[in-house]
Structure 1
Amino acid sequence: MKTSRLGLPVLLVCAALGGWSSAAPAAVDDKPDFVPPEDEALVVFIQNLREDETMTFVVFTDDRRCVAEVRGRQAEVVPMKPGTYTFYVTGYGTQRIELHLQGGRTYFVRLHTVERAFMRKSEVTPVRRGTESYMQLRTWLAGAHITHASDDSCQGKPLKERKKRTARRVVEGDADWNEGGEVYHAEHTLQVQDGFTKHELETMSLESPER
C-alpha cells in the first residue's frame, strides 16, 4: 500500500461548523435516518475520529462524479439504486472499494486516518459481517452527526479539481486494488449480505445478524 502527502485536508470555517452543529448525533437508534425504502439502498459514510475533524474525505464514482464530501465527524447518508458500484475515497491517498447493494438494506463505511512512518494515511473500512468492524459499528457512530447527501453541494457533480489530478487518484486506487490479493479485495468490498435489513435496524440485533 502506498502513502501520499497529497489529499484534500480542509480547515473548517466557523460558518460551516455552525451548520453542522445543528445535525443530530448519530447512533444505530436513529432508525428513520438509516432505514431505506424497499427499492433503495443506503450507504452511510462515517468519519468519527476527533483527530480527523479538519479532514475532508471525498468519495467519487468511476465516472468521476462526487458521491459525498465527509468531514467534521459526520455520518453522511447516501441513497443509492440497487446494483454494483466502484467508489474511490480520497483523503491522504486514494483507495478503491466495491459495493454490491440490495434495496431495503443499509451499508456502512468508516473513513479515518492513521499515523504511518511520520505521515497520516487514509483508511477505508467497509463494515462487513463476521468481522471486527461489524461489532465496532455502534462505537464508530457515537459522536458523529447525521447528514444527508441531499444537503451535500458536491453530490452528483463532477469533481472540483483538474481532470489530470482526478485521473492520478484513480490510477493510485486501481494500482492498490490490482496489487492486492483476495484478502485485500474482501476487506474493501461490501457484499449484498453485509447490508443491515430494516428488521435489524429496528430491533438493534447487531449480535444476531440476518443472512
Structure 2
Amino acid sequence: MFATLVIITALLQLSAGLRCWTCENAKSELECQREGHLQTCKENERQCQNEIRRGGHGLLISKRCKQLAACSNNFVQNSKFQCEYHQWSSVCRCCCSSYHCNSPGLACRKTPRCESQIGKLRNGEVTCEKGSTHRSRCFFKCKAGYYVDGEIATEGNQCMWDGEWDKPTPCCSRNCSLSALDIIIALDSSSSIGAENWVTMTTMVKDFVK
C-alpha cells in the first residue's frame, strides 16, 4: 500500500510539472529559505537553477525554474574563477532536474564528471575524447557480427554539464532492436474457400510463425 501511494504521488508530481524553489537576490541561504516559495515551472522549463553572485552588494542567491538549454549555456559561461566564492565580482550558476532539488544549497561543480563509459560496452569497445569530463564525447564500436543500436551509433554519447551522459549506454548485440511482438493473423473461413485451400492457408501460417 505504501509503495502504491509513493508511485501515485510521483505520477501526480510529474503530471503537474517540475517544481523548483524560487527566491531572488537573497543575502543568505537562510533568507532564501525563509522568504522563497515552491513554484511550478512552465512546460519548457525542465531544470531548477541556483545562481550565486558576489559583488558590490555582497553575496546574493537566486533560485528559479530554467530551460535546459539556458542551464547548459550558463554553465559553459562559468569561468574557472566564477565558482570560487572568495573571488570578488563573480557569478556561478548550476542546475538540477528533480522535484524541489534546488531547495537545499546546491554545490556548483566547476568540472563535472560523468560515470566512466570505458569497459561498459559488452561485445565492443569504447573510446572517449576527454575521458568522462564535461563535454567529452564517447564512441562505441562493436565486434564483428554485432552492432550498436540507434542514433548513438553515429553521434556517440556526450558528458553534459550536470554530470550525466546525454544518452543511455547502448547495447552491442546481434538483435539490439528486436523485441517480442503480438501478431494477429486473420484467415477467411467462409465456405467458398474449401477444405483443401483451408489446409493450405493454415499450413502457411504455421510455417510463418515458427
The structure with the larger Rg is 2
**Normalising to structure 2: TM-score of the pair?**
0.24
**Normalising to structure 1: TM-score of the pair?**
0.24
Structure of greater relative contact order (alpha carbons < 8 Å, 6+ residues apart)? 1
Greater strand fraction, Structure 1 or Structure 2: 1
